[in-house]
Structure 1
Amino acid sequence: MTAGTVPLIRRSHLDEHGWHSRRIRREVETGYLRAIRPGVYARGADVDGLTREEKIIIRARALDLVSATRPTFCGLTAAAAHGLPCLRDDGLLHVLTSDSRPSGAVGVVRHRNVAGHGHDVELDGIRCTPLARTVADVARTEARDVAVSIADAALRQRAFRPPGAYDVEEAARFREEALRWARLSTRGRRAAERALLLADGRAQLPGESVSRLRLLDLGFAPPSLQVPVAGPQGSTFWVDFGLDDVNAWGEFDGKAKYRELASAAGRTPHRVIDEEKRREDWIRGTTQRRFARWGWEHVGDAATLGRRLAAFGITPP
């Protein structure tokens, strides 16, 4: 079941079936029901396993369900609907409005629509800003790590084809489209320009996007991304980061990486880890470069990543 197909239950529907307030409260307390927003519920079993982005979409669908006029979602809410990774969820929904009055709806932030309507797209049953505008809005209003990870993912959608083909011209076209949207407003325009110019669709995961920011903060040159290295018997290995200014390699390992690799290839996590070890040994041996791995626990700030790299003898020039 996906975020677009999870059944939403209105309070009026429960009333029609004789569910009084006490019973609804009891079912919420036991976890059978989850309150999505005032007057809208879903079964706990349907939503508990959803991702952060899918839960945002569920909340947006609930607001759409009870709104007299269908809202157009923007910012992080639209990003989730576009399938982009949201590093954080503040529990708020972001919608466009024709004026700047504050919203009376619970958990809703209204953003003045400076570009007019007519560009909306329908995703997962909700109305959203188009992809380029969504990326621009996030880049104008959100923190740098959130903005760059979303811009990277959008460029990846548009310009990257596995295992390593990157359409630089298409990426440039999308970046310019997003920049045009960003420049329609003076608020956050410079931050948006910086984030969009840093974006690169070769980053595969949000952790790689954040890692790149930390590497730049540490003083490394912009790293090469998804670098091919010739493997045995004509194979090709792909490395997340080429730290070419210090003759080193780097890889970001999220917590789920080996589990996902194992699931995709039909192998056990233990076998995948063993193969990754052999791959790393080959890359180090054939390129004579140092090799460092890190995870989310190392990219909270630049200093922490710097200490991790220094443990492998890798320091900024």
Structure 2
Amino acid sequence: MALLIPAVHHAAELGRIRRTATGIRVADDGRDLERIRPGVYAHRQDWAAATPEGRVIARAHALGLISDDAVFSHETAAALHGLPLFRPDRTRVHLTVSHARPGSAVGTIRHRGSVPEEEIVEIRGLRCTTLERTVADVARTAGFESAVVVADSALRARCVAGPATYDEDAAAGVRDAAHGIAQRFAHGRRRADRVLAFADGRAQLPGESISRIRLVELGFRSIRLQAEVPGPHGSYFVDFALDDPAVMAFGEFDGAVKYADADMLAGRSSAEVFDEEKQREDWIRGATQRRFARWGWGHIETAPLLGRRLAAFGIRPA
């Protein structure tokens, strides 16, 4: 899905800001405003249409309007790198600051530490940590699910050039670089090791990353991502192949975005995409004689939920 980032404006740009009887801030031009941080606003309509990652970036820009020496890090840096986030912080941005910097600012999470210049890049006019440093920081400090989503998408950005292509050497290089950075810190090294060992850039969406975590929690092993199945007009690729001889099944995460996002629809209607998916699934099931299950966000909240979904298709861990 396209990244939608709302523009942010300093109060001085907006003229007189008044409040309606219901408490909504309104600019001189009559447009409703959303307060992003003290003295910085976005137009409410733009804010409502923004993606979660776009809002994270907008909050970073809002802080950038009043502070030009910030180094954004952790999930804020991940958003700037174009990586999807799992349950991002809705109100704060992440910064890494030197030990000499006092206190905290409104709407920020300050991580104490230094960032060498070689681990800083500029994206969208903002200074943030490099991709490898960002992966290391998130892997050390975030929850396992959030960290895997970031690590998977970072590997995908660096190591996947097209269908059925995954540069294992490049992936090992990203992992090694992130691991080396994580080892410099006393906190979170074991967490980072676990995340980096689990990460796989063949996961195409956050839902696939979370699905893989749930499958492992359920006890599935021999999980293959983006499994290739020869089709009548070329190859099909399936999100998950469960290759244990006692299981032998395929699974797919179905995010609703594929039936709504214009880029993924590629000029087709939702009904046409749905019909193509059905024909594809029928071919794979018939050609391989494997069970085939689909699931969505509502099934991966917990492992037992996904387990019940798979059991309905006769798919259970060995």
Provide TM-score, normalisation by structure 2. Answer: 0.91
Partners in 1 of 2:228 and 2:103 — Cα distance?
50
- Write the distance in 2 (CA, Å) between the matches of 1:199 and 1:100: 34
Residue equivalent to 1:176: 176
CA contact (8 A) 1:102 1:109 kept: no
Alpha-carbon distance, 1:33 to partner: 1.3
Cα gap change, 1:221/1:7 in structure 2, threshold over 3 Å: closer, same or farther?
closer
CA deviations over 1:235-292 (Å, ceiling 9, x no partner): 1111000000110000000121222378533111111111111111100100010001
Aligned mates of 2:103, 2:154 — CA distance in 1 = 29
Quick check: 2:228–2:236 contact (8 Å CA) kept in 1? Answer: yes
Asked if the contact 2:25/2:34 (under 8 Å) is kept, the reply is no
Q: State the 1:31 CA deviation.
A: 6.3
Query: In the alignment, which residue of structure 2 is the partner of 1:275?
Result: 276
TM-score (norm 1): 0.92
Change in Cα spacing, 1:66 to 1:182, as seen in structure 2 (3 Å) is same
- The 3 A distance-change label for structure 1 pair 263 and 135 is closer
Distance 2:251 2:215 in 1: 10
Mapped to 2, the partners of 1:300 and 1:266 lie a distance apart of 32
Residue 73 of structure 1: aligned partner = 72
Name the SS for the 1:132 alignment partner: helix
1:196 aligns with 2:196: yes
Q: For structure 1, which runs of at least 5 residues remain unmatched after alignment?
A: none
Q: Kindly indicate whether the alpha-carbon contact (under 8 Å) linking 1:73 and 1:127 is maintained by their aligned counterparts in 2.
A: yes
User: Cα 1:2–1:32, aligned 2, differ >3 Å: closer, same or farther?
Assistant: farther
Structure 1: how far apart are the matches of 2:47 and 2:140? 31
State the identity as a percent.
50
Contact 2:291 2:313 in 1 (8 A): yes
The within-5 A match list for 1:1-317 is 6-14=6-14, 17=15, 19=16, 22=19, 26-27=25-26, 32-67=32-67, 69-90=68-89, 91-99=91-99, 103-233=103-233, 235-245=234-244, 246-260=247-261, 264-317=265-318
* 1:177-196 alpha-carbon deviations (Å, 9 max, x no partner): 11111111121110111001
Matches of 1:195 and 1:73, distance apart in 2: 21
Structure 2 CA distance for aligned equivalents of residues 74 and 273 of structure 1: 39
Determine the C-alpha separation between the residues in 1 that align with 2:122 and 2:264. 32
After superposition, the C-alpha distances for 1:204-258 in whole angstroms (9 at most, x for unaligned) are 000000000111111111410001100014x111100000011000000012122
Distance 1:170 1:262 in 2: 27
Output one character per residue of 1:282-306: Cα deviation in whole Å (capped at 9) or x when no partner.
0010001000111111111111111
Q: Following the alignment from structure 2 to structure 1, what is the Cα–Cα distance between the partners of residues 301 and 102? A: 33
- The CA distance in 1 between the partners of 2:54 and 2:194, in whole Å, is 28
Q: In structure 2, give the amino acid aligned to 1:315.
A: R
Q: Give the direction of change, closer, same or farther, for the CA distance of 1:2–1:142 in structure 2 (3 Å limit).
A: closer
- With over 3 angstroms needed to count, the CA separation of the structure-2 counterparts of 1:243 and 1:102, relative to structure 1, is farther
How many residue pairs get aligned? The number is 310
Q: Partners of 1:25 and 1:305 in 2: how far apart?
A: 42
Q: Give, in whole Å, the separation in 1 of the partners of 2:7 and 2:114.
A: 34
Structure 2 spans left out of the alignment, 5+ residues: none
- Distance in 2 between the 1:3 and 1:61 partners? 14
Corresponding letter in the other structure for 2:236: F
The residue matched to 2:109 in structure 1 has which SS? strand
| 1:88 Cα deviation from its structure 2 partner | 1.3
Deviates more, 1:267-276 or 1:290-299: 267-276
SS of residue matched to 2:26: helix
SS of 1:151 mapped into structure 2:
helix
Q: What is the CA deviation profile of residues 54-110 of structure 1, one whole-angstrom value per residue up to 9, with x for unaligned ones?
A: 10000001101112x520000011011001111112221110111176633111111
* Shift in Å, 1:45: 3.0
- What's the CA shift for 1:41? 1.1
Taking the aligned partners of 1:261 and 1:274, their CA distance within structure 2 comes to: 17
Q: What is the rounded CA distance, in whole Å, between the counterparts of 2:3 and 2:307 in structure 1?
A: 39
What's the offset of the Cα at 1:13? Answer: 3.3
Is the Cα–Cα contact under 8 Å of residues 100 and 111 in structure 1 kept in the other structure? no
Q: Is the 8 A contact 1:262 1:269 kept in 2?
A: no
